[in-house]
Structure 1
Amino acid sequence: MMEDKVITAVRDFVSSINSGSKVAADMSALIGVTSQLPLTSFDYWERLIRSEFSVALRESTPPKWKIWSRPHELLTWLDLISWDGYKREKTLRTLSGAAPNTFFFSLAVRRLNDWVPQVRGAAREKLPEIAKATDPQYVVEALCIALSNWSLWGRIEEKDKEVILQIICEEEIAESFRSRLILSSSGPMPSLFSQLGRTPILDGKIEEIARLAIQPSVRAKAYRSLFEGRVTWIEGWKWEWTDIRYCKGRLKPIISDRKLEIQTPLLDLLKRSSEDRSSIVRRVSAEILIRELESLGTIARELAEQFSSDRSHLVSERGKFAIRKLEESERVNSS
């Protein structure tokens, strides 16, 4: 089981810390096993490793001579998740160089949501430096997960988010994100598109994403952004009472947006999106047609009839609705 491999790697790592045969602790097994962990279950693995690391340290008794030969405390990447906030802060300020894999860079990123303000401050200062030294692939993979979840992080502040956005805007990182949006066939890419829209790195590339992205939902998101001239994202969540007498309510998303500086002719967008191979995209196109019926002139009926005969029921219903609206408008104008 993967859990057993993780526990063994953590214990071997602790043993190497107390070994007098090495100048530095041996992380090779730990790096190997954490490189295989699914990041979608990151909370679970972080808790498991923290617990096992803490237990292993308590159970480990270094040789007496070790106390004299190494008077200074050895801080490691795993101390980023220590129970001790002072140690987490000190580790962030002490570590230098590249994160060894995506998992460990994610540990550093998650300190921006740490429950100790001083740790968040240290993460703000050190994360750009760590990111610059780390393999861009590790950085992008870690930030993909962070961006998909940070609306649920309760302690992250705007100044913390700005650190991540600053890293995203580095050209090599930005290009990797753009390629991922187009080439990824799975994963939360629509959510990632929205969060990346906070920055200008997609501006000028959204039409390309709308045409070429493998995931239909990403193409639909890109087309909608072009139609509306803005990118929207979920900033966070707030509680809304639906029936306070019975203590019933729900979480409501807080939506933010950023205007796009690019403009594409509406008719060009409608024609391209109406011919997309996915009904998800064609449905967006049909919605915009209904919204823009009065401004499109004779082409509106042509598009409405095209949608009304679409093989997707949701698209054809919108096309038929557009035809009814056009007929109502013609009757009013002729009377």
Structure 2
Amino acid sequence: MSKALTPPLLAAAQRYAAARAAGSDLAGPVADFIAATAGQAPGSIADADGAIAWAANLWPRHKPLSRFERLVLGHKEDAELLGRVPGLAVLFLFHRDGFVRQAALDRLSGPAPNPFLAAALAWRGNDWVDEVRRSAQAAMARCLPRTNPDILAAFLLETTRARATWRRWSDAERMALEAVAARPSVAKRIVAQLSAQRSGPLPSWLRTILRSPWIDQHLALLAAQAKVPGVRAIAVQALANGYVSWGDGPHERYWIDKPMGIMGRRPTVQRRALTIEADRAAAIRTGLADGATAVRKVALAAIIEHGSGDADLARLAEAFREDRSAGVRSKVAFILAQANPQG
């Protein structure tokens, strides 16, 4: 479990557990824990959740404290500490007792201090306890609007694929978070990161983000300026097609060989039309002018799909007869053969 956490975060969680066991001051260890979460990747939240609980010993008690433990030894239940230790509600987002998690969420009202803790707040919206999920939804409504757009952008982008797998989220929660992403100040930063970043699963992130209409108005910028060819290719493809599609939801059965009675299963394909009037020819020109083979192939594939009978689109491909890529040359040959079947 410890491998899921950065060394500073693991050490901070363990310091809290030691201080709690010793009955010493908790304010320092809690502050150290919050500071250490800044170095934890927001996309790791699912694995980090349990790892933090283990390291900080955040487990429910098997029996209530006795009168002796309360009055003589001065011991307190975890929930009783929430109002006494600043910042403890943040740590208790990871508590294994659902009542404590809910109480912690009900206390949160300020901005998320870093992307990982924004992810932790959202992760509680996927909690296995209904009451905790409701408290998480209310906490997100209070906290996320007050959170720095840079923090929101990093959280939303780096949890893009993870959040797509959170099946306990309600449609209302998903729509609320999409509204946060669509805020101009947040969207601008997400697009800037998709455009400028050179490493990471950026194409996968963009494919998932494309399910949301707010990204449409930024596709032309990504098609022309993104540093990663995969991002440019996806943006060109969406603009050239005028729609985006993805596999999601329950699998459907289909015939592989009907006479033999052989069937398979595949994801249901979802599709949405772009919310902007995309210039197909301009998108294809952008793709063909790209230095990356993958992007040129996408542009040529768009000509094949949409350019039947369009001589202007076919002519765009002629300049690539001698392209260095065999795959590009093959597509060009097909386009020209279709455009001039007698030639």
Instruction: Calculate the TM-score normalised by the size of structure 1.
Output: 0.82
For 1:102, give the aligned amino acid: P
Aligned to 2:207: 194
Question: Does structure 1 residue 210 correspond to structure 2 residue 223?
Answer: yes
Query: Partner letter of residue 263 of structure 1?
Result: E
Q: Answer yes or no: is the 8 Å Cα contact 1:307–1:320 preserved in 2.
A: no
Give me the whole-angstrom Cα distance separating, in 1, the residues matched to 2:185 and 2:216.
16
Q: Hey, what does 2:297 align to over in structure 1? A: 283
Structure 1 residue 284: deviation in Å? 0.8
What's 1:173 paired with?
A: 186
User: Secondary structure at the residue paired with 1:263?
Assistant: coil
- In the alignment, the residues of structure 2 paired with residue 8 and residue 188 of structure 1 have an alpha-carbon distance, to the nearest angstrom, of 29
**RMSD, aligned α-carbons:** 3.3
Q: In 2, Cα distance between the equivalents of 1:270 and 1:188?
A: 24
**Counterpart position of 1:72:** 80
Of residues 30-39 and 169-178 in structure 1, the stretch that sits farther from structure 2 once superposed is 30-39
Shift of 1:279: 0.9
Aligned to 2:128: 115
Uncovered stretches (5+) of structure 1, i.e. residues with no partner: none
The amino acid across from 1:117 in the alignment is: D
3-state secondary structure, aligned to 2:251: strand
Corresponding residue to 1:269 among 283, 286, 298: 283
Equivalent pairs, count: 322
TM value normalised by structure 2: 0.80
Q: How has the CA–CA distance of structure 1 residues 241 and 262 changed in structure 2, closer, same or farther, with 3 Å as cutoff?
A: closer
Q: Secondary structure at the match of 1:308?
A: coil
- Residue pairs, 1:312-327, within 5 angstroms: 312-327=325-340
Structure 2 letter corresponding to 1:160: E
**1:253 Cα offset (Å):** 3.5
Q: Deviations over 1:216-236 (max 9, x none)?
A: 111111111111212334544
| Alpha-carbon contact 2:181-2:187 (below 8 Å) kept | yes
Greater mean alpha carbon deviation, residues 171-180 or residues 248-257: 248-257
Q: What fraction of aligned residue pairs are identical, expressed as a percent? A: 24
SS of residue matched to 1:203: helix
In the TM superposition, what is the alpha-carbon distance from 1:165 to its structure 2 partner?
0.8
Amino acid at match of 1:44: D
Residues of 2 paired with 1:182 and 1:64: CA distance? 61
Aligned-partner SS, 2:276: coil
Q: Go from structure 1 to structure 2 and tell me whether the alpha carbon gap of 1:298 and 1:122 turns closer, same or farther (over 3 Å shift).
A: closer
How far apart, CA to CA, are the structure 1 residues paired with 2:102 and 2:264?
A: 36
- Structure 1 equivalent of residue 175 of structure 2: 162
Cα gap change, 1:7 to 1:269, in 2 (>3 Å): closer
Which fold has the larger relative contact order, with Cα–Cα distance below 8 Å and residues 6 or more apart in sequence?
Answer: 2
CA contact (8 A) 2:321 2:329 kept: yes
Name the residue aligned to 2:36.
33
- Residues 134, 293 of structure 1: alpha-carbon distance in 2 compared, 3 angstrom cutoff: closer
SS at match of 2:271: strand
Instruction: Note the alpha carbon deviations across 1:99-152, whole angstroms, 9 max, x for none.
Output: 232222211111121111222222222213211222322222222232212232
